[in-house]
Amino acid sequence: MDALDTLIQPHRVHRSLYTDPDIFVTEMEKIFGGAWVYLAHESQLPEPNDFITARMGLRPLILTRDDDGGLHGLFNRCAHRASTVCQAECGSARRFQCSYHGWTYSNRGELVNVPFAEGYPADFDLSDHGLAQVPRLGTYRGLIFGTLNPDAPSLAEWLGPAGPLIGEFVDRSPSGRIEVRNCQRMVYRGNWKLAWDNAGDGLHPTFAHRSFLVLNERQHGGARSLSQFKASPDDTGMYGADLGNGHMFVDQRPGLHQSFWETQRPVPGREWYADRIVETHGDGAAEVLEMAPGSMINLSIFPNLLIKGNHLETVDPVSVGETRLHTWVAAAEGAPDEVNVLRMRIAEDFPSLGNPDDLEIFERCQEGLAIPEVEWVDMSKGLGHPAEEVAADGVRRAPVTHEGPMRGYLRAWLELMSTDAKLTTARAGETSFEKAA
């Protein structure tokens, strides 16, 4: 593996970032251990003794609630011979028993029983053999994150300017809370960073998603084709932003000439929902309602969470050349069923064609990256362009087709990959917890 700082240049990156197994192994350690990684949403384990399985890179986890509702991030690895102890995706359990030799753990991670214990050494202590745990957990507006890095900044600091954008997403719900439902799973034969590149790319929709645009034109006429944008993307106010720490934001709303909310057909509960939003947001209600059905934004929380419309999507690396994507619909807690159905139908509109387009492109990119003699991937669009703005909080904002957000996340990638953080685990009762918002 070459020196990492030689592989990322201001205008291009080396193909090995997507193809080198050694780089992938280091990413799984330093990025998916050293950063704050999204694990789940609180609505997925709402009651005491609920659990859900998750991953931090290649590390399998069990997120649990104990009898008192306390949150624990347990590594799904028996302390005896390393077998995973939970095979279910979710459920309710006070105990987890390893199916290999019967070691049994509480949902706090404590070892509570070892069968046929007579042969173990006299000083064998159950308390020394609990499940290893994530040492730092935190929540932000219901999103659960974890890190193994004792020196990582606080969760609020890590999110930075991305935090208020998460708030905007959640506050489309009248209660200020969402419920995560209905997972769709997809797999593509390509590196996980291809999905990350794409999430910050505002240029590709006109070309990669032409089938979606053509279908809309056939069904609705020209008003629902490319003319949904007032002009060419860079002339509309649509923009991409590097939020720092690898986070990105693409906002296409300025390119729309009509609100999604205003153009939807009447549904039962619509007026009730609108009244609640007005009560909560006052003068800002129109902007919230405009995005209530959900679309036209991509918020990327490095390294593994994408918020797109009313979806939460996780990027789950499997190997250097294989990635899983998990997509959940976020329902507005307390909203009438009809309003949430409307949100879900609109949320299905683009992904039904757009996601297969993206996955096909990712696999074509991975195939092209296999050519060793062609070493570099160009990311120069917008570099040094006068339209790029840097705000007081450090956010870099540029026209939507520029590649600044991708260059920004790669700077964060390089910083994490170059840091010798001393990653740790915790024993039962040692995890620290942060409620960032």
Give residue-wise pLDDT tens across range 113-156. 999 999 999 999 999 999 999 999 999 999 999 999 999 999 99
Q: How far is CA 14 from CA 5, 123, 370, in A?
A: 10, 53, 12
User: What's the CA angle centered on 264, arms 259 and 270, to 5 degrees?
Assistant: 105
Q: Mean of the pLDDT values across residues 89-96?
A: 98
pLDDT for the residue numbered 222: 52
* Mean pLDDT, the chain, integer: 89
The percent of residues in the chain predicted with pLDDT above 70, rounded, is 89
Q: How far is CA 194 from CA 58, 162, 394, 400, in A?
A: 18, 21, 25, 18
Residue 80, pLDDT above cutoff 50: yes
CATH dotted code for 34-140+148-153+428-435: 2.102.10.10
pLDDT for the residue numbered 435: 95
DSSP-derived secondary structure for 142-165? TEEEEES-TTSPPHHHHHTTHHHH
Residue 409, pLDDT above cutoff 70: yes
Residue 262, pLDDT above cutoff 80: no
The pLDDT-based confidence of 216 (bands split at 50, 70, 90) is low
Which value, in Å, is the radius of gyration of the alpha carbons in the chain?
A: 23
Give residue-wise pLDDT tens across range 268-325. 777 888 888 888 888 888 877 776 666 678 999 999 999 988 889 999 999 999 999 9
Nearest one of 56, 4, 30, 12 to 315, comparing CA atoms? 56
Two tokens at 435? 């409620």
Question: Which residues are 56's β-sheet partners?
Answer: 59
Residue 67, pLDDT above cutoff 90: yes
Residue 229, pLDDT above cutoff 50: no
pLDDT for the residue numbered 228: 47
Which class in CATH covers the domain with range 160-417? alpha beta
Give residue-wise pLDDT tens across range 326-372. 999 899 998 888 888 877 777 676 666 778 888 999 999 999 999 99
Q: Is the peptide bond before 303 cis (omega within 30 degrees of 0)?
A: yes
Domain limits, the chain? 34-140+148-153+428-435, 160-417
Give residue-wise pLDDT tens across range 337-348. 888 887 777 767
The pLDDT-based confidence of 266 (bands split at 50, 70, 90) is low
Residue 254, pLDDT above cutoff 50: yes
- Coil, strand or helix at 352: helix
pLDDT for the residue numbered 334: 84
Give residue-wise pLDDT tens across range 97-111. 999 999 999 999 999
Using the Cα atoms of residue 109, residue 110, residue 114 and residue 117 in order, give the sign of their dihedral: positive
The percent of residues in the chain predicted with pLDDT above 90, rounded, is 65
Give residue-wise pLDDT tens across range 158-215. 999 999 999 989 998 889 999 998 898 999 999 999 999 999 887 777 776 677 666 6
The pLDDT-based confidence of 400 (bands split at 50, 70, 90) is confident
Residue 217, pLDDT above cutoff 70: no
Which range, 73-82, 392-401, 417-426, is most confident?
73-82
- Coil, strand or helix at 83: coil
